Amino acid sequence: MDLLTILQVLDSTMRLAVPLLLACLAGLYSERAGIFDIGLEGKMLAAAFLSAAVAYTSGSAWVGLGAGIVASLALSAVHGLASITFRGNQLISGVAINFLAAGLTVVVAQSWFGQGGRTPQLAGAARFEPITLPFAEAIRDVAFIGPVYYELISGHTALVYIALLFVPLTWWVMYRTRFGLRLRAVGENPAAVDTAGISVVGLRYVAVLICGVLCGIAGAYLATALQASFVKDMSAGRGFIALAALIFAKWRPWYVLYACLLFGFLQAMALRPDVIESVLSFKVNAQLLDVLPYILTVIILAGFVGKAIPPRAGGEPYVKER
C-alpha cells in the first residue's frame, strides 16, 4: 500500500469524523451540565434539511449554515424547556425530538420540493467547496511533506477546520475558564452551585443551546459539505455513534477527537474495502465493513472498554430546596 492510498484513507477519515466530532462535542457540553441529550440525531437531521433547503433557495452555503443552526437551536430550546423548566424525563424528550425530526423533515421536503422527501442538488456557492491552503500547490511534489500537506491537511472545507478548532476551544472553555468550572460543577453538584448564588437553570440552558449550535453545524456539514443535498435519514445514526464516542472518551475533549477519528476510520474503511483486502490478502465482506462502526458502538455501550463514570447529576432534574 503506497503513501497516496494511505493519505486518501486518512483524508476520508477526517471528512467522515467531522459530523461525529461536532455532535460529540455538543453532547459533551450538554452532559457536563447534567442534561443527557439523546436528541443529537434529530437535531442534526433537522439542521441538515433546513440548511440544504435554504442554501438551495438563497444560493449561499453560509446562509444555509445559519438556517441549520436555527433549526437545531429550536429543537434544543424544546428539549431545554421539557427537561429543565418542566423537569421532564430527558431521555424521553430526546427520543421525541428524534421522531419529530425524522418525520417532519421528509414531509416538509416533499411539500416544498416534491422530490420524494429530498432537496435538489446543491452547486456552486450553495455548497461548501474545498479550500486549498497556502503553498499547497508549490510543495506538492516535495517528498513526503508535499503529499501529506496537499492531500491530507489542505483541500478540506471551512467546516472541517472549524470543527477541529472547536476541540482545543472546548478544552480551554471547560478547564481554563470560570464558565467551564461552573458548567462542570452543575453536572456534578447543582445544589452547591445554587448555594453559591449561581443560576443552575441558566447554566443548563446555555449548555443546551451550545449543544444546539454544534449540532446545527454538524447537520449543515452533512448536507452542504460532505454531500450536496438532503436525503431521508441522512444522519444515519451518527448522533447515537457520537454518544457512544462520548462515553468512550469519558467526556474529555481531546479524547473525543481520538474516538471520533477511530469511528471515522472505520467508516472510511467501509468505503475502501480494496485497501483492507490488499493488507489481509483475502476478500472482505463489504456489508461487514459497513456495520463495523455500529458494532463498536454496541461494544462501547455494553461497557467493554473500561468504566466510564458520567456526571453525577446527569439525567436528574434539579429541584431547588426551599
Listed by start position, the domains of the chain span: 3-128+141-301
CA dihedral 293, 298, 300, 302 (to 10 degrees): -170
Give the residues across from 131 on adjacent strands.
156
pLDDT at residue 66, as a whole number: 97
Confidence (pLDDT) at 175: 95
Contacts 24+ apart (CB under 8 A), 250-254: 250/308, 250/309, 251/28, 251/31, 251/32, 251/308, 251/310, 251/311, 253/25, 253/28, 253/167, 253/168, 253/170, 253/171, 253/174, 254/167, 254/171
d(CA 54, CA 47): 10
Cell 445554587 belongs to 194
Which has the closest alpha carbon to 257: 164, 149, 176, 175?
Answer: 164
* pLDDT tens-digit map of 268-312: 888 877 777 676 666 777 677 778 888 877 787 676 566 677 888
pTM for this entry: 0.94
**Residue 55: pLDDT over 70:** yes
Residue 3 pLDDT > 80? yes
Percentage above 70 pLDDT, the chain = 95
* The pLDDT value given to residue 304: 59
pLDDT score at 280: 67
164-220: pLDDT as tens digits:
999 999 999 999 999 999 999 999 999 999 988 899 999 999 999 999 999 999 999
What number is the average pLDDT over the span 37-52?
96
Domain 3-128+141-301 belongs to what topology? ABC transporter involved in vitamin B12 uptake, BtuC (1.10.3470)
Contact by Cβ (8 Å): 81, 23: no
* Cα distance between residue 239 and residue 12, in whole Å: 19
Give the per-residue pLDDT at 4: 85
* CA end-to-end distance (rounded Å), the chain: 67
User: Tens digits of per-residue pLDDT, 122-163?
Assistant: 999 999 999 999 988 889 888 889 899 998 999 999 999 999
pLDDT at residue 322, as a whole number: 59
